[in-house]
Chains A and B, each alone.
Chain A
Amino acid sequence: MNRSYYGYFFVAPFFIGFAVFGLAPILYTLYLSFMKWDGFSDPVFVGVANYTRLLHDSFFYQTIWNTLIIWVFSNTPQLITALLLALVLNEKFIRGKHFFRAVYFFPHIITPVTLGVIFALMFDWQTGSINKILLALGIVQDPVNWFNSAWWSRIIASGVIAWQYFGFNMIVFIAGLQSIPSEVYEAAEVDGATKTQTALHITLPLLRPVFLFVFITSVIGGLQLFDAPLILGDGPNNTGRTMVMYLYETAFKNFDYSYGAAVAYGIFIVVMFFTAITARASKLRE
């Protein structure tokens, strides 16, 4: 008796949900991107005008650059810290490793907006605790206007994100480390391999699939940075504004929904492009 169609009932709720809350908005956004619509009057078809405008929009290009910089500055320390901590906390002789895993994971459960507010207050020019500490220690003579500097504002945004996600990536790395069979390590030990040799020639190569997962998710997530940088502000001359912040400002602050839709598709293409590069680069190494 063919009972295969039962499966459709079980997967139907997901597909109905996806069609209503996922696919329909995606298609509606595509429709809007060919219109001119401010939300107050009826949409008017304008063809590819929004995309032409996007291609000539220097502010959009600037946000791509800003996002990439923030992503690099957040990801590099984030992944290095996560990997080192994972290697250390995966060792059997470490005491209280479960406690530390939990502690390092804590920032991940705080909302990015809260983290943004905390960092904004800490780095406030006039009243922030960081400047007060630096002044008290005599490291600076005058308060540093962090958010008036393009690089500092990007680095602070990167710091927020790195701090939020290093614990999550550490857990992913630990999961990857624990999936490596112990026999491999035992064989290495029998062969007289040092700890460093084991790490370089066994652990890291066997972690490659985990690296790939972490890297691709961080490319996709990192290029959609929004909440924390939004709270920290656009930075001087918009140097801290990310792609999604630009989308938000265009659609929901300027009420230019149609151009916002085109920006959304622009972001999609940028994310796809960098994800493809990452995937391609990882294949080349195989």
Chain B
Amino acid sequence: MKTRKWLLLVMSVILVTVLAACGGKNGNNSTGGADNGAAGGGSTNAGGQTGDTGGAQELKGHLVIWTFFDQVKDMADQFHAKNPGVTIDVKLFPGDQYQTKLLTALQSGRDVPDIFDLERGYIGKFINSKFLTDLSAMGGDDLVKDYIPYVKELGYSEDGKLRAVSDHSSPGGFWYLRDVAKKYLGTDDPKKIGDMVNSWDKIIDLGKNVAAESGGKEHLIQNAGDLFDIEAYNTQPWVKDGKLNIDPKWKTIYETQLKIRQNNVDAKLPFMSAGWGNALNDGSVVLTSMPAWAGFMVDNKDNKANGKYGVAATPEGFYEGGTYRGIYDKSPNKALAYEFIKYIAGVEWQQHNLEKTGNMPGNAKVYENNLTTFKSPLFGDENILVPYYNTVKNIPPLKADKYGEDILSKWRTVAGDGITNNKSFDDVVAAFKKEVKNAFPELNVD
């Protein structure tokens, strides 16, 4: 009998421990809730404040930010330095599972952040959802009034409400090693090189010369596929009124890509592949189309690459990527979270970010303030903001939609296969339509 009691006691303890462990998340939630409650107090405080961040009335509270991007920690530190009463918990989820994790949390409504990051690749899925607060109603339109048009527009939902803000733009350009450019193009001047490559016809002619001079071993550009990225947002949206829309411009682009491949203009190295990285660093490819944020791909150990690169404009302005930040609609800390958004949309943070990381600003004022003064170690004396600013301000402002990025990705795959295997445009379109119809049966694909 004694044994039986002991066994029952031990089993009960085990079960209670297991159940308590399973419920751990719940427990954290409760704590989170308590924190949020405290922050709620802070938000009331913040809500009462009308001045600029760090103004007369001190902000207090606690914010939770979810991101996939480690530089958000610096953002939080800078905000905290200005507002010591606000503590920020940055939860970093690197990798491509972030969006699934975020969506799952938002769906369940448990353990959710006050602010969360959204990448350009999937912002279109979230921007019209019920999860993002209407920032326009909080005065957000004023925050982005000086913004680069395309950066601003991507934060708006279909109903014209601002729901997310980015603190940067991500323009692209042709990066090149100056000595390699001098060897093959006869100059390392970014303006002159920009003029030499301001059309795809010129690029093909120039590329033929590079291939001929190097005995076919070196190439002008990395990949015909770069055109997908350069032209991606210079074409009409992929879906219009529930119908697949293939901009006729894609035919011209595809034919240009075929010519590039057939004339050995490109090195056939996919973006961000190992070979692509090597070519960027050793100059075996003359021009690499690069987003401004990808400087980490350059091997600059002991500053050996400083001053060795130049950046020239591409035939059409492009951008790649971008991180947006929105406030969870059911957050009890909306007002405080808004102060954070206000801070990152402002000149002070973006100036700091430009100087520290070289990330291009989203606010046009920051561009203009630094056009003739900002230098980046990699690019020596070049005023790199000049080509980037000319690029970004002319990028067509388009809203993000649910399908755009996924359909572009399908086009990139199918058309990329077509270029490799020298297929006709009609064959590529037929295969592409089949893919789109399969993935999105609700769309009208004729």
Contacts and interface: CB of A to CB of B under 8 A. Distances in A.
A41 B126 CA distance: 11
A210 B44 CA distance: 69
Contacts of A256: 439
Interface string B416-446: 0100110000000001000000111100000
A121 B11 CA distance: 52
A40 B129 contact: yes
Interface string B96-137: 000010011001000000000000000001100111000000
B306 to A, nearest CB: 26
Contacts of A253: 406
A254 B417 contact: no
Contacts of B420: 145, 148
A126 B15 contact: no
A3 B1 CA distance: 11
B56 interface: no
A39 interface: yes
Contact of A255 (B22, B125, B273, B274): B125
Given A58-B438, A237-B431, 14 more contacts: A9-B7, A9-B11, A20-B22, A39-B103, A39-B107, A40-B125, A40-B131, A41-B130, A126-B267, A126-B268, A145-B420, A148-B417, A252-B100, A255-B125
Interface in B79-110: 100, 103-104, 107
A16 B406 contact: no
A256 B438 CA distance: 11
Given A40-B129, A237-B431, A254 B439 contact: yes
Nearest to A143: B268
A13 interface: yes
Contacts of A237: 417, 431
B275 interface: yes
B9 to A, nearest CB: 11
A57 B100 contact: no
A12 interface: yes
Contact of B421 (A57, A127, A236): A236
Contacts of B14: 13
B180 interface: no
Interface residues of A, number: 32
B413 interface: yes
A84 B440 CA distance: 49
B16 to A, nearest CB: 12
A213 interface: no
Interface of B: 4, 7-8, 11, 14-15, 18, 22, 100, 103-104, 107, 125-126, 129-131, 267-269, 273-275, 278, 406, 413, 417, 420-421, 431, 438-441
Contacts of B131: 40
B125 A148 contact: no
A10 B11 CA distance: 8
Contacts of B103: 39-40, 255
B184 to A, nearest CB: 19
Nearest to A234: B413
A148 B421 contact: yes
A213 B440 CA distance: 41
A53 B440 CA distance: 12
B125 A124 contact: no
Contacts of A6: 7
Contacts of A234: 413
A125 B439 CA distance: 29
Contacts of B438: 57-59
A38 B402 CA distance: 11
Nearest to A236: B417
B331 to A, nearest CB: 18
Contacts of A148: 417, 420-421
Interface of A: 3, 6, 9-10, 12-13, 16, 20, 38-41, 53, 57-59, 121, 124-127, 145, 148, 234, 236-237, 250, 252-256
Contact of A127 (B7, B100, B278, B406): B278
Contacts of B431: 237
Nearest to B15: A12
A176 to B, nearest CB: 37
Contact of B274 (A41, A59, A124): A124
B275 A254 contact: no
17 contacts: A3-B4, A10-B11, A12-B11, A20-B22, A39-B103, A40-B103, A40-B126, A40-B129, A57-B438, A127-B273, A145-B420, A148-B420, A254-B439, A254-B440, A255-B103, A255-B125, A256-B439
A37 to B, nearest CB: 10
B134 to A, nearest CB: 16
Contacts of A236: 417, 421
Given A53-B441, A126-B268, A13 B406 contact: no
Contacts of B267: 126
Contact of A124 (B8, B11, B273, B406): B273
Contact of B18 (A10, A16, A40, A145): A16
Contacts of A10: 11
B271 to A, nearest CB: 13
The 8 closest A-B pairs by CB, nearest first: A127-B275, A9-B11, A40-B129, A126-B275, A39-B103, A254-B439, A59-B438, A252-B100
Nearest to A17: B18
Contacts of A254: 406, 439-440
A38 B129 CA distance: 11
A250 B441 CA distance: 12
Contacts of A16: 18
Nearest to A127: B275
Nearest to B12: A9
B274 A121 contact: yes
Contacts of B275: 124, 126-127
A135 B231 CA distance: 36
B95 to A, nearest CB: 11
